[in-house]
Structure 1
Amino acid sequence: MAIRLPSHLHRARSGILHFRIAIPPDLRIHFKTREIYRSLRTANVREAATTAQALSHALKQLFSQIRTGTMSEQKKTPPGPLGGLDLGLIMEFHFDTVTPTKKTVRFQTEPHDTPEMVSAALAAINGTAGAGTKERKKSTPLFSELIEDYKRDRLAAGKWTSKTQDENLAVYKLCLTIIGDLPIGDIGDDQALTYVETLKKLPANMNKMPAYRGKTISEVIALNPAPMATRTINKSLERISSLFKFATLKPKYDLRYNPFSGRSLNESDGQQREPFTNDELARLFGAAEHTQRQYTTAYSYWLPLMGLLTGARLNELCQLHLSDFEVVGGIDCINIKDAGEGQRLKNKNARRLVPIHDKLIEVGLIRYVNRLRAQGHERLFPTLKLTDEGYGKMPSRWFGKFRERCGILEKHTKVFHSFRHTFISTLLDNDVEETAIAPIVGHDGKLITGQVYWNVKDAVKRKPTVERFQPHPDVWNLVPKFEDVEITGE
């Protein structure tokens, strides 16, 4: 059974409460709207009821005064509860000199005297009653308009793929639903906190699950679903923060600061990605594929090895061209870049030179590359198709199932990216300086030209750092050479 809300309160689909009062039919000639409806910026019924009661009382007194014509052209503060809130609200009532029966109502608010929540509600009247005033503050564009402007800017600059666009717009739409389509100037810390608090109660992929389809935010939360991972929340916050950072740079929005900046949650709850243990690596490299020396694809052999011994991200490896394998200063290297067809990187720091680990050379990586070149191929994994998610979509799905088959069931914390964490954390445990690791794994190492350019000295300097990572013998002894394996599915 639905809970009945106090008078003049209405809960939007986002869960936020709104003040709502109808303009009496006999007074609508004085207004440009049939009702006053504005967000109270809270989902708490007790807080909203107090504000709604004060607004209702003041407006009903105003309606009565309009009918009786008792208001003079002198400015008056409204009596009763509204005046007691010290809102600084000024109301003026005029008789038109040409048409004496026509009354004009004007409202003027003083923001420095007005609590934000009530001020926003009264601003609705300011924009709909009478002819307006010079003192009235110009409203900023709506949240929805900012989204459209940002989308247009990103697409024009070529910053978004179709997948990136869909992901970002889904995040923006959810935020719009939670806090409402407010003027940008009215969105501040309260709205940002409401967004974070609500997001922490919602499930991942809410719109894709039949159980939640068609339900309001409040109805979904009432089902007490398993909340989305902290990492997913933080990704959403990054996207919203980028949107509002864009707004702070545009005079059109008159936004003094980014209310969503710095709100990432602490991932100390165990949901961050973790490195693989030696036992888990032994299970991965001791799977049937390795023991039987049979693999359905070449990438199912190479990707775990390359992820472990280079620290590279999955898509960085999947999109490699054979031309990215170079000899620099006598050192075999992988030049990770985004210059080739279909190649994309996370950021500018991701462009880097990675010396190839001796153990990868030992099992046959250079020989495999040379074989592909002789066959006329251009890419390291020629069977992979480019999708909106890059070349890594199918390998990512394969590894998820492979990992579970090996008994590693932690969905969010133990993923392909854990090879990268293993590489980095092992080097750190071996007292390798972060500044030496950063240019190899594509982190910001506070370098200047090294973020974009490299020279022959880099390969010579980075090779010893790469070699400081050594897999445990019990793990490495499970790995066959590439010449000893059979690829059955290509």
Structure 2
Amino acid sequence: MTSCYETLKNQARNIIHHYHRMELADWQSSPRTEDEYEIWIDFLQLFKSQTTEAARLNDLRQSQRLVNDYFADTEQPVLPPEQLNQLTRMVCDRIPDIYSAMLNHQPIDLEEEQKQSTEKSSSDVAKGTEPASINSTNIVPLGQAIGEYLSENQAKGWKVRTINQYQHSLVVASSFFGDVAIGTLTREHGRALRGILPKLIKGKTQEDLHKDGIKNCTTDTASMQISSVTANNHMNRLREFFRWSESMGYINRNPLPDDNIPMPKVSKQAKRNPITDQEAKQIFAHPLFAEHKGIKTRKIQHASHFWLPLIAAYSGMRLGEISQLSVGNIRKLGEHWCFMVEQSSEDHYLKTPNAQRAIPVHNELIRIGFITFVDYVRANGGERLFTNIRLLQGNYSNKPSEWFIKQLRDNLGLPLHVTPHAFRHSVKDKLSRVEANPENISRLLGHAGGQYGGLVSTEVSHLVPLINAIDYGAATAHIQPIVPDAFHYSPVSTLSDVEV
């Protein structure tokens, strides 16, 4: 008799096969050029990497879509929640197999893999190498297990930012439990940790936890507590650590509950207020834009101070995407200049596979001199457009965001929702008013338009009128075209110790 677990494994295998066939059929639907093939291979590499990362981080959003769509496509009855959650987790672990198979021009042979796994498991049991049970001879201190886990993932090539995020979550756990033997942790301990996570005080660092202890880093005052999203991020990272510990034989069972912390039912719109036309007029009336006058220097200190808010306002790009732009990312597709959001170097970071896209450069940016600025950087041997913005812990956007908030929002007395990212919400709202096709909006903003994204089209003429429809009530009409000489630091300077 087939167990429920085996039934779910078979169903997960069917889902992976289903979507592998769909992706392959989509690629084979028409003749392809050599250039398209090379781009496709790059996409497969990116998707494999990001889906592998999603499996590590227990990010089930993509696999949930796959599972839900599969049941809808096949018209099968949906499973009960508990089984559905288990199936989704299995699918999440197998999604990278789709891209591995396509990269190697091979079919997915999960049946053979399962057979080999079963034979290996039986052999291991016969040899006495089954997973260890916890006893007095193999109890490992929590701190030791954490050190091994972080070292192993660093060796796997995890990004610094990811390592730091995991380290923070693990410091929370070790501060709460102390350096106990990891094998002694029970579900009761896990429930207690789950209960304390939402009470963590916003802004507390690993150093604070080490110095002050968990008790002094928590509060019952709701306004001072971390968000439910942050608390659940801690939960997911810790759950992944304990899952690894279980596979290593350090524990018999993951002590953390399977369910995440409940999210409060609040209006998402309240968190995503766009920048209004009036607020945009106040920002761009600042002397930095109106008079090409710097805040700390007579000239504008850095090119990023001038261009980042304008690009955000007229493209809807994420701040990190703008901050990492190079001259190679500004290219003509046909007759139209475009921002090419792509992973063109190992320092480039894309939030999702769908983030790779082409965005026509708005006419207002061209009028103010953006293409002239890019040509200057290119002609003088520059590579990145904004060399003063450095990669910090795998992120380009933190310092520019801090600068905008301090020098523009706060100094102008604007509301708290006015951040560089709020321009992205403004662009989405403005596009939604003039465009009936949500796929075009998704393509410009880098949202999930398809199941896995798609190739970047070289035809953007239909997107040009859409991007040029972004208007802030003439908020930037007074800005005169700028020249590279308007900046205190040359745009091609190599800067090391200057503020953003």
- Bucket of the pairwise TM-score, normalised by the shorter protein: 0.5 to 0.7
Q: Deviations over 1:254-304 (max 9, x none)?
A: 557973554363472788343212222122111221232222221111000
1:336 maps onto 2:338 in alignment:
no
Name the structure 1 match of 2:200.
202
In the alignment, the residues of structure 2 paired with residue 150 and residue 432 of structure 1 have an alpha-carbon distance, to the nearest angstrom, of: 49
Q: Deviations over 1:74-98 (max 9, x none)?
A: xxxxxxxxxxxxxxxxxxxxxxxxx
Name the structure 1 match of 2:274.
275
Shift of 1:426: 2.9
In the alignment, the residues of structure 1 paired with residue 302 and residue 279 of structure 2 have an alpha-carbon distance, to the nearest angstrom, of: 22
Name the structure 2 match of 1:456.
458
In the alignment, the residues of structure 1 paired with residue 206 and residue 142 of structure 2 have an alpha-carbon distance, to the nearest angstrom, of: 24
In the alignment, the residues of structure 2 paired with residue 267 and residue 300 of structure 1 have an alpha-carbon distance, to the nearest angstrom, of: 37
Q: Is the 8 A contact 1:192 1:260 kept in 2?
A: no
Change (3 A) 1:323 1:186: same
373-382 or 255-264: bigger deviation: 255-264
In the alignment, the residues of structure 1 paired with residue 410 and residue 196 of structure 2 have an alpha-carbon distance, to the nearest angstrom, of: 31
Name the structure 2 match of 1:286.
285
Q: Is the 8 A contact 1:244 1:260 kept in 2?
A: no
Q: Is the 8 A contact 2:134 2:252 kept in 1?
A: no
Higher radius of gyration, 1 or 2: 1
Change (3 A) 1:226 1:394: closer
Q: Deviations over 1:278-336 (max 9, x none)?
A: 22212211122123222222111100011112211112111111011111233221211
Change (3 A) 1:195 1:300: same
Shift of 1:473: 1.9
Shift of 1:243: 3.9
In the alignment, the residues of structure 1 paired with residue 480 and residue 301 of structure 2 have an alpha-carbon distance, to the nearest angstrom, of: 15
Change (3 A) 1:222 1:238: closer
Change (3 A) 1:256 1:310: same
Name the structure 2 match of 1:471.
471
Q: Note the residue ranges of structure 1 that are not aligned, 5 or more in a row.
A: 1-135
Aligned AA (1:165)? I
Q: Is the 8 A contact 1:245 1:258 kept in 2?
A: no
SS of 1:326's partner is strand
Shift of 1:202: 2.6
- For residue 265 of structure 1, the aligned residue among 225, 243, 263 is 263
SS of 2:304's partner is helix
Q: Alignment identity in percent?
A: 21
SS of 2:359's partner is strand
In the alignment, the residues of structure 1 paired with residue 255 and residue 433 of structure 2 have an alpha-carbon distance, to the nearest angstrom, of: 40
Name the structure 2 match of 1:327.
332
Name the structure 1 match of 2:366.
361
TM-score (norm 1): 0.60
1:303 maps onto 2:308 in alignment:
yes
SS of 2:403's partner is helix
1:427 maps onto 2:427 in alignment:
no
Aligned AA (2:196)? T
Aligned length: 346
1:405 maps onto 2:407 in alignment:
no
Structure holding more strand per residue? 1
Structure holding more helix per residue? 2
Q: Is the 8 A contact 2:176 2:193 kept in 1?
A: yes
Shift of 1:389: 4.4
In the alignment, the residues of structure 2 paired with residue 472 and residue 148 of structure 1 have an alpha-carbon distance, to the nearest angstrom, of: 52
SS of 2:224's partner is coil
Q: Is the 8 A contact 1:333 1:354 kept in 2?
A: yes
Instruction: Please tell me the root mean square deviation across aligned C-alpha atoms, in Å.
Output: 3.7
Shift of 1:204: 1.9
Name the structure 2 match of 1:436.
440
SS of 1:168's partner is helix
Name the structure 2 match of 1:166.
164
In the alignment, the residues of structure 1 paired with residue 435 and residue 189 of structure 2 have an alpha-carbon distance, to the nearest angstrom, of: 44
Taking the TM superposition and a 5 Å limit, the aligned residue runs for 1:126-205 are 138=134, 144=143, 147-161=146-160, 163-178=161-176, 181=180, 183=182, 188=187, 194-205=192-203
Name the structure 2 match of 1:227.
225
Q: Is the 8 A contact 1:274 1:418 kept in 2?
A: yes
TM-score (norm 2): 0.59
Q: Deviations over 1:194-234 (max 9, x none)?
A: 44542332322324798x88444334546958223455435
**Greater relative contact order (Cα 8 A, min sep 6): structure 1 or 2?**
2
